[in-house]
Amino acid sequence: MKYADRVLRLEDRSLLEAFELPATEHFISFSGGFPSPDTYPVEAISQAFSGAIEEAGPQAFAYASTSGLPALRQKILQRMEAKLGVHFEMNEIIITSGSQQGLDMSGMLFVNKGDVILFETPSYLGAVNALRAYEAELVGVPTDQEGIEIDALKECLERYGERVKMVYVIPDYQNPTGRSWSPRRREDFMKMISHYDVPVIEDGAYSELSFEKEPMKPLCAYDIKGQVVYVGTFSKIFCPGLRVAWLCARKDIMDKYLVLKNASDLASSTIGQYQMAYYLEHFDMDKHIEDISLLYKHRRNVMADAIDRYFPEEVNYVFPKGGLFIWAELPEGKDARELLKRAVEKNVTFIPGSAFYPGDKKYHEMRLNFSNMADEDTEEGIKILGLLIKEYLAE
C-alpha cells in the first residue's frame, strides 16, 4: 500500500474537504488547528531577519550544522530550564524543520512494520498520520480528565509486550481535547513507564499557551531513565511558517536522530535559525506569549459563552485552560460526521472527533478551534451549529 493510501484513510470525503475549506473566504471555520495570523509579530520578525543578516553576513545563507545553530540551541535550552524546569545538554538537542519532522524521525528510529505504538485517545491527527506510515499497529489508550489512564496503559503494555516500541502523548492543552494532565498523573505515568524499556514521545507544542498559570512540569522533568524524547516548536507560540522546532533526548538516542536528520534534509533552514536566535536575544518572547495567550483566552471565552447560549444542554464540552481547542460531545448514538455535512451547507466547518482516534473510534465528538475566527464569526458559527444540533437531536 502506498504512503498516501495509508495516510488518507479518512472517514469520508467531507473530512478532507473540511481541512481545505478554510482557504475559502465564505466559510466560518472551526476546523483548523492553526495559531492566529493576528499573533504573528511581523515587524519584530522583519527586524530580526535584518539584524541576523547584518550580524551573520553570508553565513546566514550557508548550510547549517545538522544539529542546528549553537546559539539557538543554547537559548532554547535556557528557556526550557527557566520555564519548564528541565535541563538538557547541548549534545541532547537538535533543531528540526517543524515538530512534524521530529515525529516523523521518531517513527523512522523506533518503529518497524508490525510494531505497536500506543496513543492517548483521542490524539493529534498529524502524529497519527505520520506514524501510521511506518505500518505499525496503532493502539489507543483511554484518557480521563487527568490524562492517560494508568491502569489501561499498563494493560496495553502487558498485552503487547515487546511489540510496543513507542508511547506518544501531549500532556499540555492537548490537541484535540484541550485537556492537560494533572501533576499527579504525570508522576504516576513516569513512575509506571520506568518499569518498561519503551521511549515516550512528549509533544510540547502547547505547553506555554496557558491561560491561568505558569506551565506545568513536562514529563521529561520526572524522567529518571532518559526515556522521554521531548518535541518542542515555535509554531504555536511564535509563527508556523518559519518551521523552527527542536527535539531533546539523551545523547545516545540523539546520536541516532542526528544520522536520520542528516539523511533527511542535511540541516534546517539557516536563515530561519539565525532569525529565531536574534529574536530570542533582542526581543521579549515571554511578553509575546503573554499577549497571545490573552487573545486566545478571550477567544476561548467568546466561543464557550456562545456554546452555553446556543448549544442544547445535551451537549457537553471541555473548558480548556490553554491551547487552541474546545472538545464537544453530542449524545451517544449521534454522529458528528452527519452534523458536519449539514454544517458545510451553512458554510460552517469543524473536525469530527472520529478523525483523532488511531484505533477504535467514537463518532459523537467534535473539535472546535477558537483561535482563528473574529468574535462575530465565532458567535454566528456557534449559533448556526446550535440550531443544527437541536434539529439533529430532535430526529
Structural domains in the chain (count): 2
- Arithmetic mean of pLDDT, 263-287: 95
pLDDT in tens, 277-301: 999 999 999 999 999 999 999 999 9
CATH number at residue 179: 3.40.640.10
Residue 169 amino acid letter: V
pLDDT tens-digit map of 200-244: 999 999 999 999 877 889 999 999 999 999 999 999 999 999 999
d(CA 54, CA 271): 12
3-state secondary structure of 49: helix
What's the domain range around 261? 42-282
What confidence tens digit (pLDDT) does each residue in 289-346 have?
999 999 999 999 999 999 999 999 999 999 999 999 999 999 999 999 999 999 999 9
Kindly state the cell numbers that stand for 112: 518497524
First to last CA, the chain: 40
Q: Does the structure show a pLDDT above 70 at 7?
A: no
Region 12-37 average pLDDT = 67
> Do 268 and 297 fall within a single domain?
no
Residue-wise pLDDT tens digits, 56-66:
999 999 999 99
The answer on pLDDT for 30 being more than 90 is yes
How confident is the model over 75-134, as pLDDT tens digits?
999 999 999 999 999 999 999 999 999 999 999 999 999 999 999 999 998 899 889 889
pLDDT band at 20 (very low <50, low <70, confident <90, very high): low
Q: Are residues 272 and 324 in the same domain?
A: no
- Check whether residue 56 and residue 192 sit in a common domain: yes
Residue 21 has pLDDT above 60, yes or no: no
15 & 65 share domain = no
How far is residue 185 CA from its own chain's centroid?
Answer: 19
pTM (2 d.p.): 0.92
Q: For residue 217, report the phi and psi dihedrals to the nearest 5 degrees.
A: -60, 135
How would residue 368 be classed by pLDDT, with cut points 50, 70 and 90? very high
Q: What confidence category does residue 13 fall into, taking pLDDT thresholds of 50, 70 and 90? A: very low
pLDDT, position 17: 52
User: Burial letters for 110-141: b for 16+ Cβ neighbours within 10 Å, e otherwise?
Assistant: bbeeebbbbbbbbbbbbbbbbbbebebbbbbb
- pLDDT of 33 reads 84
Query: Measured between alpha carbons, how far is 376 from 117 in angstroms, rounded to an integer?
Result: 42
Q: What is the DSSP string of 352-385?
A: EGGGG-SSS---SEEEEE-SSS-HHHHHHHHHHH
pLDDT at 360: 85
If asked whether residues 197 and 153 sit together in one domain, one would say yes
Q: Give the rounded percent of residues in the chain with a pLDDT score beyond 70.
A: 94
The verdict on 325 and 234 lying in the same domain is: no
Q: What is the pLDDT of residue 16?
A: 52
Q: How far apart are CA 188 and CA 80, in angstroms?
A: 22
Q: Which of 222, 253, 282 is the last residue of a domain?
A: 282
Mean pLDDT for the chain?
92
Distance CA 29, CA 385 (A): 12
- Give the per-residue pLDDT at 106: 96
Q: Give the pLDDT score at 1.
A: 43
**248 lies in the same domain as 365:** no
| Residue 136 and residue 256 in one domain | yes
Q: Last residue of a domain, which of 247, 282, 317?
A: 282
Asked if residue 154 and residue 63 are part of one domain, the reply reads yes
Determine the pLDDT at residue 24.
47
Picking from 251, 267, 282, the residue at the C-terminal end of a domain is 282
Band (2; pLDDT cuts 50, 70, 90): very low
Judged against a pLDDT cut of 80, whether residue 3 lies above it is answered with no
CA dist 66 and 252 (Å) reads: 16
Q: Is the pLDDT of residue 157 over 60?
A: yes
Residue 115 φ then ψ, to 5°:
-70, 175
Examine the domain organization and report whether 194 and 245 are in the same domain.
Answer: yes
Residues 265 and 358 in one domain: no
Output the domain CATH number for residue 387.
3.90.1150.10
**Co-location of 15 and 46 in the same domain:** no
In sequence order, what E strands does the chain have?
28-29, 93-97, 116-120, 137-141, 143-144, 147-148, 164-169, 200-203, 228-233, 244-248, 316-317, 325-329, 348-349, 351-352, 365-369
